[in-house]
Structure 1
Amino acid sequence: MAAARAQLAAQQPGGTEKIAAEARVAQARAQLANARARAALLTLTAPSAGVVLSRKAEPGDVAAAGKVLLELADS
């Protein structure tokens, strides 16, 4: 059914361009979803509210499990 719709759309004026544009939109949406998922994995969240006293790692450093990245004090 989808193939028949695509073939019919391709025969319409501007149909091929529309199909290509829809494919680009779908690809952009997938890339956005991927970027959001990666950003969620790269976001640090403190276990409680506080003030950063010192930074033990620099941006770009590899953070291993259990490595202290920031020293926090209660606010």
Structure 2
Amino acid sequence: MRSNERHPFRAMGLMTAISSQLVGSVLVGIFGGRFLDEKWDTEPLFLIIGLLVGLAAGIYAMLRLIRSFFSGDEK
């Protein structure tokens, strides 16, 4: 098989990994922020911070995954 052929299952796997990383990191940030808000009684502050940090972490992990996918380094 040629190495540049398209594989639909690899593409579906990449999309699944991207979506699960984004959703997972955002959820961890939201629930972590809610936990800290309840602990220190600062209602929306840590929720918003956790959401933004989770989103940034998810985007960073997504970019690393895409870079490793297209470079051929599969770990």
TM-score (norm 1): 0.40
Higher helix share: 2
Which of the pair is proportionally richer in strand? Answer: 1
The TM-score, its normalising length taken from structure 2, stands at 0.40
